[in-house]
């Protein structure tokens, strides 16, 4: 049967042998007889990997964090390879690439995520196209299928990287989740998630994952984890799978609230710009006039937390331009991760904090 994503999120990764527990248990073990967890994985990791792999339509490998997963993808590249990244994208990834560039290991090219022509041109030249869609923090959307097509249709083989072949196309799908889009089905070779965010969904863990199109690439991901040592914690992998069971209902709920709040914010006289991705999701962004008003707004909130990170049950928001790594963002722009609270309560908090600015 062709079960829907909502049904598979609930059921994938369970073991259905006679007498198996409802949930794959937490396995706090460094060795499993002659097997070693960092080299061979554990059942707890595999249950999570099976479930997210099912939703994304590929082979999953879990890592200690999103950054651990990104690092494993960069590890596919030979020294001197060229990586193309969006100028607006997760700051930690840009920092990692900047470091690799400064030390001479990789070459970096930074393109505006909105400049599709530049991406299509780069697709013929680069070794790794790193896409993020929607981008963090500005929520720009990139045409994944079009860029993947320009990069060549054949399935990726990591072994071919650096020779006369096509680039690897990787997509950070943290904001969209597999409910919003499945990049492998759009032609990408690698999907990456910070499962710390919507997948885990409760702001109680750090975890990352890659999902790749071929078993060969999956083996390279596992090898990178083996070498790099960015292994998931047993509890974190278990919690992330528990969180994933409710991802479809949480995603639907935060998408509905975020769309409604984006609409109301767009009609508010104090708000100069609102961004909300066309494919939905729980993150929106809105702009007030200047850093001072935005800071005063954040300080005036009573319910929504002025906090970093996103994708939890609780609403959080942050003025990203306050961080040097995101200085390119408009000074008054606020990234808003919408949680599961009553939308009218969130709106009441927003309007009372905006009223204080007058």
Ligand X SMILES: Cc1ncc(COP(=O)(O)O)c(C=O)c1O
Residue tagged 């989740």 (tokens): 177
Q: Count residues contacting ligand X (CB under 6 A)?
A: 12
Candidates 62-70, 151-159, 218-226, 332-340: pick the segment binding ligand X (CB under 6 A).
62-70
Q: Which of 92, 143, 228, 300 binds ligand X (CB under 6 A)?
A: 92
Min dist. Cβ of residue 128 to ligand X (A): 15
Question: In the 8-state DSSP scheme, what is residue 156?
Answer: P
**Tokens, residue 50:** 């099976």
Min dist. Cβ of residue 320 to ligand X (A): 11
Residue whose CB is less far from ligand X, 95 or 345: 95
Per CB under 6 A, 208 contacts ligand X: yes
Per CB under 6 A, 48 contacts ligand X: no
Three-class SS state of 212:
strand
Closest listed residue to residue 185, CA positions, set 148, 140, 139: 148
Per CB under 6 A, 90 contacts ligand X: yes
Q: Which of 66, 178, 248, 282 binds ligand X (CB under 6 A)?
A: 66
Per CB under 6 A, 257 contacts ligand X: no
Per CB under 6 A, 189 contacts ligand X: no
What does the DSSP assignment read for 74-112? Answer: HTTSPTT-EEEEESSS-HHHHHHHHHHHHTTS-EEEEE-
- Tell which positions 117-136 bind ligand X, by CB under 6 A: 136
Min dist. Cβ of residue 252 to ligand X (A): 21
C-beta atoms surrounding 356 within 10 Å: 12
Per CB under 6 A, 65 contacts ligand X: yes
Residue tagged 């009573």 (tokens): 302
Residue whose CB is less far from ligand X, 76 or 199: 199
Q: Spell out, one character per residue from 325 to 344, where the chain touches ligand X: x when CB under 6 A holds, - when not.
A: --------------------
- Cα 114 to its chain centre, rounded Å, is 19
Tell me how many degrees the CA angle 294-295-299 measures, rounded to the nearest 5: 115
Closest listed residue to residue 231, CA positions, set 15, 24, 73, 30: 30
Cβ(55)–Cβ(5) below 8 Å: yes
Residue whose CB is less far from ligand X, 191 or 354: 191
Cβ(49)–Cβ(91) below 8 Å: no
Residue 325: exposed, middle, or buried by beta-carbon count in 10 A (0-12, 13-18, 19+)?
A: middle
Cβ-closest residue to ligand X? 66
Candidates 36-44, 65-73, 147-155, 214-222: pick the segment binding ligand X (CB under 6 A).
65-73
Per CB under 6 A, 172 contacts ligand X: yes
**Tokens, residue 337:** 């991760």
Min dist. Cβ of residue 73 to ligand X (A): 11
Per CB under 6 A, 67 contacts ligand X: yes
Tell me how many degrees the CA angle 106-189-50 measures, rounded to the nearest 5: 120
Min dist. Cβ of residue 267 to ligand X (A): 28
Per CB under 6 A, 206 contacts ligand X: yes
Could you list the residues that contact ligand X (CB under 6 A)? 65-67, 90, 92, 136, 172, 174, 194, 196, 206, 208
């Amino acid at each position: 049967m062709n079960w829907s994503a909502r049904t598979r999120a609930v059921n994938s990764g369970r073991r259905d042998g006679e007498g198996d527990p409802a949930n794959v248990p937490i396995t706090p073990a460094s060795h499993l007889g002659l097997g070693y967890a960092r080299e061979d994985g554990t059942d707890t990791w595999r249950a999570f990997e099976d479930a997210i792999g099912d939703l994304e339509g590929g082979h999953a490998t879990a890592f200690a964090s999103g950054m651990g997963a990104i690092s494993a993808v960069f590890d596919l590249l030979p020294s001197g390879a060229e990586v193309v990244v969006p100028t607006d994208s997760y700051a930690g990834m840009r920092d990692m690439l900047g470091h690799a560039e400064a030390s001479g290991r990789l070459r970096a090219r930074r393109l505006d995520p909105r400049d599709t022509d530049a991406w299509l041109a780069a697709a013929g030249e680069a070794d790794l196209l790193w896409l993020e869609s929607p981008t963090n923090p500005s929520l720009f959307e990139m045409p994944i299928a079009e860029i993947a097509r320009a990069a060549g249709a054949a399935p990726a083989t990591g072994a071919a990287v650096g020779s006369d072949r096509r680039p690897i196309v990787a997509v950070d799908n943290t904001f969209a989740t597999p409910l919003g889009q499945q990049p492998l089905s759009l032609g990408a070779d690698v999907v990456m998630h910070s499962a710390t965010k919507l997948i885990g969904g409760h702001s109680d863990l750090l975890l990352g994952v890659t999902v790749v199109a071929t078993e060969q690439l999956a083996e390279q991901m596992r090898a990178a984890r083996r070498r790099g040592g960015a292994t998931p914690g047993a509890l974190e992998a278990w919690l992330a799978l528990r969180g994933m069971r409710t991802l479809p209902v949480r995603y639907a709920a935060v998408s509905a609230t975020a769309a409604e709040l984006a609409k109301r914010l767009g009609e508010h006289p104090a708000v100069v710009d609102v961004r909300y991705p066309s494919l939905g999701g729980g993150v929106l962004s809105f702009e007030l006039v200047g850093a001072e008003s935005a800071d005063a707004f954040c300080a005036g909130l009573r319910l929504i937390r002025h906090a970093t990170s996103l994708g939890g049950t609780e609403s959080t928001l942050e003025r990203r331009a306050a961080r040097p790594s995101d200085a390119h963002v408009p000074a008054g722009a606020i990234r808003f991760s919408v949680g599961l609270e009553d939308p009218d309560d969130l709106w009441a908090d927003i309007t009372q904090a905006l009223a204080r600015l007058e």
